[in-house]
Chain A
Amino acid sequence: MAAAAGGGAVRALSQKEQDIQMMLAADVHLGTKNCDFQMERYVFKRRTDGIYIINLGKTWEKLQLAARVIVAIENPQDIIVQSARPYGQRAVLKFAQYTGAHAIAGRHTPGTFTNQLQTSFSEPRLLILTDPRTDHQPIKESALGNIPTIAFCDTDSPMRYVDIGIPANNKGRNSIGCLFWLLARMVLQMRGTILPGHKWEVMVDLFFYRDPEEAKEQEEEAAAAPDFAAITDYQGAEQWGAEQWTSDVAVPPVAPTGADWGAAPAPVPTGDGWDQAGAPVPADGVVPPVAAPTGWDQAAQPTAQGWE
């Protein structure tokens, strides 16, 4: 089920196969040079250079299982998603935003789950972590407080007190973003917010970590692009008409699933570059183009100017 790379070319790929393709592109399957004995069941093979390869089919199954558990919690605010690592922080915040959970990015103050006198005391029903090794403190505390734990485990991650371990690469920035995106989408699908056949409007890139310098560069580029494109936009809106806009607008959301991971937004001219830069107004920026193409025209002008 997992491979099907050649066979899939003829017929359309199933949802699962598409997801696995995305995971392969994000290097989710690459483990580390060591393998914990409890992770052996998820490992496919060891490469010649010593790196263990994770079986992505099993990763997908565990993601489904985790999503089912998340959906079973009646109040989503009782779920805490956490990442001490910088690569996971943005993903965790976005995940919390779309599923209604609580995000803790950065240092976990010891005693948050056990010290009832602390102001940050909380008693979650479920805990989701990016790495059992760096996030070992919340694991210890959740063990004391009867809190089930889900974590993305690499091949060398300790599984102690982790109830659902999702085998995956938790070292790479693309990988972590991809996994949280998939998990969020699965949760929303199970809840019924997204219909299963449709693509999710939110892009994977939204969950990737961006370096502060890179973020600044992208902002500057995006500011420059609509700057001189805004003039053409203005005239184009009246000339082209609504139909042109829909076809134009349909392109960007589909393209990213290819190989365009957070690359320079320059390629597509006119306002589309603004789309992929994404960051400052992510939710608003991505949703409207697909939802209301005509509305986008009006939205583009004031915001494009608002860039300066």
Chain B
Amino acid sequence: MAERGGERGGERGGFGRGFGRGGRGDRGGRRGGRRGPRQEEEKWVPVTKLGRLVKEGRINKIEEIYLHSLPVKEHQIVETIVPGLKDEVMKITPVQKQTRAGQRTRFKAFVVVGDGDGHVGLGVKCAKEVATAIRGAIILAKLSVVPVRRGYWGNKIGPPHTVPCKVTGKCGSVTVRMVPAPRGSGIVAARVPKKVLQFAGIEDVFTSSRGSTKTLGNFVKATFDCLMKTYGFLTPEFWTQTNFSMTPFQQFTDLLGKPTKGLVLEAPTETVEA
């Protein structure tokens, strides 16, 4: 499963300057095998409130974040809560812009991230060097992790294995349709969406696609969009009344109220009469 999609991109064509060097650089597929200083990775100083809560371990499941629609701004949040995240570079395409001094090439990296158990993320990043692009794409992919709903084709025996209902996703001209399949069918899809679906943790599904699926960017975004919709579909299980709970920001307001070391502690200028 460790398909080096990047190889193809690296060998394609000989565009101007600096290309060959970048093509052989760090490829994705390995987590933590960074050339950069290790220290930066380990010492994460959270900037957002959510980051602080996650670092202190007050939030254990990513579902709590989804429940309150909290925007995730720091990728370390996802890394901490969803430990089994694997990433895979789908493709590296060189894209060019014309300048009067020739062409300016940049590399666009598509990375899919997932834990194989209901969470996927897709990241797209363009940068001057391949390694930077891949790194950036992995970060963006982690920020965009969404839950995937799985259901049954027929008998509800064992864990859910397929999509709960027929769903379709669209991006550009590409539409991807996923249809529930009986156990043992496997993922019946093209190479690209198959990878995404494997990361999502879907075991059996029939797919059908339309449009220019050659454009990998749109194809992969369409399957991602399709997977996002699985939880958007209203089924009778959701007919019961929701019991609203406090947002983590309200629940842990005392903890968040304490100033962090980095903050400048201003002597309370507001002479509070409250």
Q: A residues touching B (Cβ–Cβ < 8 Å)?
A: 74-78, 96-101, 116-117, 121, 123, 125, 144-146, 187-188, 191, 193, 283
Contact = CB atoms under 8 A, between A and B. Distances in A.
A102 to B, nearest CB: 8
23 contacts: A74-B250, A74-B254, A75-B253, A75-B257, A76-B272, A76-B274, A77-B257, A78-B253, A78-B257, A98-B272, A100-B270, A100-B274, A116-B48, A116-B73, A116-B74, A117-B47, A121-B47, A123-B48, A125-B250, A144-B71, A146-B69, A146-B247, A283-B271
A9 B109 CA distance: 77
B233 interface: no
B62 to A, nearest CB: 17
Interface residues of B, number: 21
Contacts of B271: 97, 283
Contacts of A191: 274
Contacts of B69: 146
Given A74-B250, A117-B47, A123-B49, A98 B68 contact: no
Given A116-B48, A116-B74, A146-B69, A99 B274 contact: yes
A98 B273 contact: yes
A188 B274 contact: yes
B190 interface: no
A99 B271 CA distance: 9
Interface string B34-64: 0000000000000111000000000000000
Contact of A100 (B247, B250, B253, B272): B272
Contacts of A125: 249-250, 253
Contacts of B253: 74-75, 78, 125
B272 A146 contact: no
B70 interface: yes
Nearest to A99: B274
Contact of B273 (A78, A144, A146, A188): A188
Contacts of B71: 144-146
Nearest to B69: A146
